[in-house]
Structure 1
Amino acid sequence: MDGASRWYIDGSELVAALGLVFVMSGVTLWWESILPTTMSIQAALYELVVHVLFGGIVLILGVHIERSELSRDERFAVMVWCFSGFLFLFLIAVWSGLGALFEGNVTAAFVSEVVVFGSMGGAFGVIAGVNHGRSARNRRLAERNEDQRETLVLLTRLLRHDIRNDMTAISGHAEILEEHVDEAGEASVEVIRRRSEAIIRLLQDTDTLVKTLGDDREFQPIDFSAVLREEVASVVDDHPAVSVESDIPDGLWVFADGLVHQLFSNLLGNAVAHNDPEELTIRIEATRRDGTIETVVADDGSGLPEEIRDHCFELGEQGPESEGDGLGLYLVSRLADVYDGSVDHEESEDGGAKFIIRLPTPE
């Protein structure tokens, strides 16, 4: 049957109808032929279950797929599986009693076998059909998700390439203008520069977040001591006014990939962005503890606003006075999860923010 004809057949209704026929046939056979000859209630109930069970499964699944997410073509495929299974075991049952049929001797036992085996084949067929339909649907959803992810990756790359170049140019011209504007214009130039840098950070975070969605990432031992020292050097170079104290022993290794540095570039960048660099001290301490590397990043700034502390790692969460995008801490949490690690927030001993990151070490 071609695809056009399938639209006129709702497989779920035919499956349910076949199940109803099985149930009615089983009940009728049991009532007319089996119950009168059964000597005990237990045996009668057993025979009733045997003759009705598989037909009931077909009936219930027929109703279920009518209300399920399966398309009409997928329901049609379930119907084909169901009727194929029914015909297969039905023909086997008929073949086993073919001699008696030729002799015109149709017994209640033969009819019972036909009903039980036919309903059993229908039940197995409809179960196989539903599983086949769901597997096909899951494959299509996986392919669609992969297409969407690839589109998102491409879009992010375009944004990062074009917008970042534009914002870098804007930031550079703002620095040039600083020497040619009066005091009233300096504040506006500073806003332009600050927002340009914020947009560049947003593009970097978005690109990193997209990369965490990939299925083909390969983790390997990473020299964590070197990563932390590079991030400390980076924040000191970019913000000379910030005081950074670090205790990073040699020989610390974690099982991660090249994105692991984003955990700390975001935390350090947030500390600087939300506090006065000239009055800020950041402390970084890394230790080996119970098969993990525990890293503490604490500062003496103003800390996280109280209203977001309990859910600061959720996407889009930010303080009422924040000019950020609410992506930084979510990205930190996401990366920690990807590496089978964890990140927690506390108030530091100096009243600022304190983050504890735990990452697994290589076996």
Structure 2
Amino acid sequence: MSRWMRIRSQMTGALVIVSVGLLLRTVGVAHLYQFALNPFRTFETSLVELVSLTGWASAIVIAGYWFSRRGLRPDQLWRIATWCLVTMGLMTAFVGYILVDVSLGGGWLPDPRFTLLLGANVGAGVGIALGWQRVRAIETAKRRERRETQTELLERQTRVLSHLNRHLRHHVLDTVTVVDGYTDLLSPHIDDDGRRYLTPIRERNARTVDLLANVDALVDALGTPASLVTRDLSLVLHAEVSAARQAHPQATFDVDVPTGVVVRADDLLDIVVANLVQNALVHNGSDHPHVSVRLDDDDTRVRLTVTDDGPGIPQSVRETFGHVDGVPETTDDTGLGLYLASVVAQRYGSELTFSAEDDGGAAVGFTLQRVAPAPWTTTPSTQLMDRPQPTAGESRRRPAEDDEADSAISSPLQR
């Protein structure tokens, strides 16, 4: 019984509309049948009346059935049915008033009954159209209100998460600074055999700083719109490869990067390139890893590819990092680095791609939009050797963030 009541409550409005259409169609057919034997009526007149009355009535029946299949709520169906009934009544009353006025004035109408039926059909059809538009307008307003509410909630959550990120970043970096300081103080007081245990501490601290830099960059990439400027990709690649050479002297690099390649990017480009190169080195599995950095460019696009000779990337990981909505399930900084690269690639209008090499290893890359370099933006890559390069443990924060972080963090050793 409850199921029948539920179905009836959902179909009542649609049944009212269908019933109105069937009623108008029945009355119209009866009217036409009554005058079918009239010898003074022409075939053309009867055909026009047939098409007019049955056409409108059939359209009303079809509209009621269509609404029943749209999955509308009962209140929405009743709203449309109410508009149909009210408008049909008003139109019928208006046409009836005109007919009475013409009749009292001595005028002549060829078929008052047909005119009245046609007015009722037109009124019902117009009422259905107005009711449907009203339902859509109400739903649009509700969706807009929900979007505004969700936007306000997301903005509030973003502000809270941004504050927590800065707070956590401050305290973690403060802790890392303290650990590094005490490690340096402890080093002269232990022998060579014990000093080797300090190396994992320093390496873990360096990875923690890099991880925080990735998280900070990921928050920027997800929370702020892209503001792309011209960047010299050649300078960025040579700088990151030079830093990787200093941090991993046992590795070999094959760099095929021409000078003066300028692209549309932002300040996240450095972090993405550093992540791709570091992932190729750290997770290579070989004592002497080999990494290849290559640029394939044409007049409009530049493709950056970083290739290694390691064990490769599993298919499940590729599918996760190939989409910006896919959050990595891994908990280490490698997964976060690839996810950051995927997000930034889509930020640049591209997609992070993975491919397996024939002799083992993996190739990871994405494309960027190339622009014509200005005379003052092209710097020979040989000048990069004279620039101070970051070491393996240094954070890759932007200069403005370095100043802010240095002023906000004070080690107990410095107090």
**Which category describes the TM-score, using the shorter chain as reference length?**
0.7 to 0.9
Alignment of 1:1-363 (within 5 A): 15-16=13-14, 18-35=16-33, 37=35, 47-58=53-64, 60-61=66-67, 64=70, 66-67=72-73, 75=76, 79=79, 83=82, 87=86, 91=90, 94-102=93-101, 103=103, 107-175=112-180, 176-177=182-183, 179=187, 182=194, 189=201, 193=205, 196-197=208-209, 199-201=211-213, 203-211=215-223, 214=224, 216-236=225-245, 242-275=251-284, 279-289=288-298, 291-305=300-314, 308-309=317-318, 312-313=321-322, 315-317=326-328, 323-324=332-333, 326-348=335-357, 351-362=360-371
Distance verdict in 2 for CA 1:307–1:107, change over 3 Å: closer
Map of 1:6 onto structure 2: none
The offset of 1:207, in angstroms, is: 0.7
The offset of 1:351, in angstroms, is: 2.3
Secondary structure of residue in 2 paired with 1:128: helix
Which is further off, 341-350 or 102-111?
102-111
Q: Deviations over 1:165-197 (max 9, x none)?
A: 222233334433373784796587468536634
Q: Deviations over 1:250-288 (max 9, x none)?
A: 332333434344432332232244236962332211131
Secondary structure of residue in 1 paired with 2:268: coil
User: RCO (CA 8 Å, sep 6+): is it higher in 1 or 2?
Assistant: 2
The offset of 1:19, in angstroms, is: 1.6
Which is further off, 245-254 or 122-131?
245-254
Size of the aligned set, in residue pairs, is 341
> 2: distance between equivalents of 1:134 and 1:260?
43
Secondary structure of residue in 2 paired with 1:361: strand
Distance verdict in 2 for CA 1:209–1:88, change over 3 Å: same
Is the 1:82–1:124 Cα contact (8 Å) retained in structure 2?
Answer: no
> For residue 98 of structure 2, what is the amino acid of its counterpart?
G
Q: Deviations over 1:128-173 (max 9, x none)?
A: 1232133223322432342243234323322331222222233334
Secondary structure of residue in 2 paired with 1:342: coil
> 2: distance between equivalents of 1:17 and 1:151?
46
The offset of 1:354, in angstroms, is: 0.9
Secondary structure of residue in 2 paired with 1:355: strand
> 1: distance between equivalents of 2:312 and 2:168?
31
> 1: distance between equivalents of 2:91 and 2:233?
67
> For residue 108 of structure 1, what is the amino acid of its counterpart?
R
> 1: distance between equivalents of 2:35 and 2:327?
72
Is the 2:321–2:338 Cα contact (8 Å) retained in structure 1?
Answer: yes
Secondary structure of residue in 2 paired with 1:279: coil
> For residue 151 of structure 1, what is the amino acid of its counterpart?
R
> For residue 361 of structure 2, what is the amino acid of its counterpart?
G
Q: From the CA coordinates, give the structure whose radius of gyration is larger.
A: 2
> For residue 48 of structure 1, what is the amino acid of its counterpart?
T
The offset of 1:292, in angstroms, is: 0.9
> 2: distance between equivalents of 1:34 and 1:220?
75
Is the 1:58–1:126 Cα contact (8 Å) retained in structure 2?
Answer: no
Map of 2:6 onto structure 1: none
Distance verdict in 2 for CA 1:87–1:183, change over 3 Å: same
> 2: distance between equivalents of 1:272 and 1:159?
32
Secondary structure of residue in 2 paired with 1:303: coil
> 1: distance between equivalents of 2:253 and 2:58?
76
Q: Tell me the C-alpha RMSD between the 2 structures.
A: 4.2
Secondary structure of residue in 2 paired with 1:341: coil
Is the 2:56–2:122 Cα contact (8 Å) retained in structure 1?
Answer: no
Q: Deviations over 1:72-105 (max 9, x none)?
A: 6xx49x92x7756875676456445533234489
Distance verdict in 2 for CA 1:153–1:310, change over 3 Å: closer
The offset of 1:127, in angstroms, is: 2.5
Report % sequence identity: 17
> For residue 101 of structure 1, what is the amino acid of its counterpart?
V
Distance verdict in 2 for CA 1:278–1:250, change over 3 Å: same
The offset of 1:338, in angstroms, is: 3.1
Question: Which ranges of structure 1 fall in alignment gaps of 5 or more residues?
Answer: 1-10
Is the 2:237–2:273 Cα contact (8 Å) retained in structure 1?
Answer: yes
Is the 2:307–2:362 Cα contact (8 Å) retained in structure 1?
Answer: yes
Distance verdict in 2 for CA 1:65–1:351, change over 3 Å: closer
The offset of 1:35, in angstroms, is: 4.9
> For residue 125 of structure 1, what is the amino acid of its counterpart?
L
The offset of 1:293, in angstroms, is: 0.5
The offset of 1:342, in angstroms, is: 2.9
The offset of 1:56, in angstroms, is: 3.8
Is the 2:25–2:54 Cα contact (8 Å) retained in structure 1?
Answer: yes
Secondary structure of residue in 2 paired with 1:203: helix
Is the 1:318–1:324 Cα contact (8 Å) retained in structure 2?
Answer: no
